[in-house]
Amino acid sequence: MLRGPSEATLIRPGSALFTAARVLPFVAVVAVVAIELSPAHFLYTGPFLTPAPALAALTMGPAGTATVAVVTALASCTTATYNQAWGSQQVYANLSALLLVSLASLATSAARARRERELAHVRRIAQVSQDVVLRPVPGRLEGARAAGVYLAAEAGARIGGDLYEVLSTPYGIRVIVGDVRGKGLPAVRTTAAVLGAFREAAHYEAELADVMTRCEAALRREICRAEELVEAPGPHDPAEQFVTAVLAQVPAEPVVELVSRGHPPPLLLSGAETRPLEAAVPLPPLGLAEFLGSAPTHAETYPFGPGDRLLLYTDGVVEARDPARNFFELNAHLARLDDSPPQQLLERLRTALLQHVRGRLEDDAAMVVVERDAYTAPARAAP
Please state which of the ranges 4-13, 158-167, 180-189 shows the lowest mean pLDDT.
Answer: 4-13
Residue 205 pLDDT more than 70? yes
More confident residue, 181 or 10: 181
Mean of per-residue pLDDT scores for the chain: 82
Q: Which of 113, 129, 145 is the C-terminal boundary of a domain?
A: 129
Domain of residue 288, residue span: 137-372
Measuring CA to CA, how many Å separate 132 from each of 2, 126, 128, 141, 191?
A: 15, 10, 6, 20, 11
Q: Which of 129, 147, 167 is the C-terminal boundary of a domain?
A: 129
**Report field, pTM of the whole predicted structure over 0.85:** no
Is residue 111, in this structure, part of any structural domain at all?
A: yes
Residues 153 and 278 in one domain: yes
Residue 294 pLDDT more than 80? no
Residues 188 and 90 in one domain: no
Residues 274 and 349 in one domain: yes
Residues 367 and 334 in one domain: yes
- C-alpha torsion sign, points 62, 68, 74, 80: negative
Residues 96 and 149 in one domain: no
The CATH number of the domain holding residue 193 is: 3.60.40.10
DSSP assignment string, 183-215: -HHHHHHHHHHHHHHHHHHTTT-SSHHHHHHHH
Please state which of the ranges 93-97, 158-162, 320-324 shows the lowest mean pLDDT.
Answer: 158-162
Closest CA relative to residue 147, chosen from 341, 342, 313: 342
Straight-line distance from the first to the last Cα atom of the chain, in angstroms, rounded to the nearest whole number? 30
pLDDT of residue 187: 79
Tell me the average pLDDT across 312-324: 92
Q: Which of 129, 164, 188 is the C-terminal boundary of a domain?
A: 129
Q: Are 216 and 287 in contact (CB under 8 A)?
A: yes
Neighbours of 193 (CB within 10 A): 23
CA distance 127 to 97: 44
Residues 306 and 364 in one domain: yes
Is residue 383, in this structure, part of any structural domain at all?
A: no
Q: What is the pLDDT of residues 350-364, one digit of tens each?
A: 999 999 998 888 888
Residues 100 and 181 in one domain: no
Residues 283 and 324 in one domain: yes
Residues 48 and 150 in one domain: no
**Total number of domains in the chain:** 2
Q: What is the pLDDT of residues 257-291, one digit of tens each?
A: 999 999 999 999 988 889 999 988 888 999 887 76
Residue 158 pLDDT more than 80? no
Residues 250 and 341 in one domain: yes
Residues 119 and 211 in one domain: no
pLDDT of residue 7: 40
Tell me the average pLDDT across 4-33: 67
The number of CA neighbours under 13 Å toward the Cβ of 329 is 5
Measuring CA to CA, how many Å separate 161 from each of 84, 110, 131, 251, 325?
A: 69, 37, 15, 29, 22
Residue 237 pLDDT more than 60? no
Residue 255 pLDDT more than 60? yes
Residues 143 and 292 in one domain: yes
Is residue 145, in this structure, part of any structural domain at all?
A: yes
